Amino acid sequence: MHAHSRPVQSNQASVHEQLPAVVAKHAATIFRKPVSAVNLEAFTASIAAWKAHGGAPLILDAGCGVGLSTRKLAQAFPGSFVIGVDQSAERLGRNIRWAGDLPKNFITVRADLIDYWRLMLSESIYPQQHYLLYPNPWPKKSQLGRRWHGHAIFPVIVALGGRIECRSNWKIYIDEFASSLQQLSAGAVHSEAHRSTPTDALTPFEAKYAASGHALWRCHTELPPKPGLASTLVDS
Ligand SMILES: C[S@@+](CC[C@H](N)C(=O)[O-])C[C@H]1O[C@@H](n2cnc3c(N)ncnc32)[C@H](O)[C@@H]1O
């Protein structure tokens, strides 16, 4: 596979100086935007599918795109159930190449994560593992609020707990995600270069970036869920 994806260009040279203040503000604020009926319906159906599978340990593939990682994670963790969530019906509906039998322990669902994560917290549904793979970087300095760690939803992601892993081809994104995790938790956060090849990549974006010769980065941590935060972070 040959690809010529351009590395992320940004007018930011390091972690955004406003990040700690932004994260602290969001952690002290209740998120009041109403959950949409369509997201509630998608959430309810996907949780019913998980329960019908026996309620195995849950893996959330947040922003799963075409769902390749959802399938690969299901294959890698046969004793778990993987829910891949993405807002794009077009991506979720794409036919992806898969050799052999598809695993049965996964589902992909079209929903906005902003609602999906809040519903998980208010319904006390905690993932054992939580992947955020190659989220849109929003690299302009002025776009901090669109990155997951700069968004009001971030404290909800942390409160859900579990093993959280974020990957990106933009080191600053991972540096910021890791420092925001550290700010809101006592757990050790590990950040490192991540090696991948186009053939063993977990996601299509990872494959494209690996084929383009980009450096890849990831951070991960393991956190206890914080059910007590549901009432201070989400309107239920
Ligand atoms: C850069 S793509 C990465 C997709 C996939 N993880 C991969 O690595 O191939 C980011 C994905 O996040 C999804 N996304 C962004 N914001 C979202 C939101 N609020 N709710 C659900 N999905 C979202 C987009 O639709 C897109 O598929």
Confidence of residue 82 (pLDDT cuts 50, 70, 90): very high
154 near 194, Cβ under 8 Å? no
Report which protein residue has its CA nearest ligand 1's atom 12. Answer: 63
Residues 85 and 111: beta-carbon distance below 8 Å: yes
Residues of the chain above pLDDT 90, percent: 89
Spell out the domains of the chain, with CATH numbers in brackets.
21-233 (3.40.50.150)
**pLDDT value, residue 40:** 98
Ligand 1 centroid – CA 65 distance (Å):
5
User: In the chain, what percentage of residues exceed pLDDT 70?
Assistant: 99
Mean pLDDT of 177-201: 93
Whats the size of the chain, residue-wise? 236
Contact assessment for residue 71 and residue 201, using Cβ atoms and an 8 Å cutoff: no
- Residue 31 CA to residue 121 CA, distance in Å, equals 12
Rounded distance from Cα 64 to ligand 1 centre (Å): 6
Is 90 exceeded by the pLDDT of residue 154?
yes
Ligand 1: residue whose CA is nearest its atom 4: 65
Q: Which atom of ligand 1 is nearest to the CA of 206?
A: 8
Interatomic CA distance for residues 131 and 70, integer angstroms: 10
Residues 116-134, mean pLDDT to the nearest whole number? 97
Q: What is the whole-number distance in angstroms between the Cα of residue 191 and the centre of ligand 1?
A: 21
Q: Are strands 106-110 and 129-133 parallel, antiparallel or unpaired?
A: unpaired
Q: Tell me how far the alpha carbon of residue 130 lies from the centroid of ligand 1, in angstroms.
A: 14
Please give the Cα distance from 50 to 17 (Å, whole number). 41
pLDDT for position 1:
66
**Which residues on neighbouring strands pair with residue 167, listed in sequence order?**
133, 218
Computed over every residue of the chain, the mean pLDDT equals: 95
Residues with CB under 6 A from ligand 1: 63-65, 85-88, 91, 112-114, 133-136, 203-206
pTM over 0.85: yes
Q: Which atom of ligand 1 is nearest to the CA of 202?
A: 8
Retrieve residue 181's tokens.
């995790």
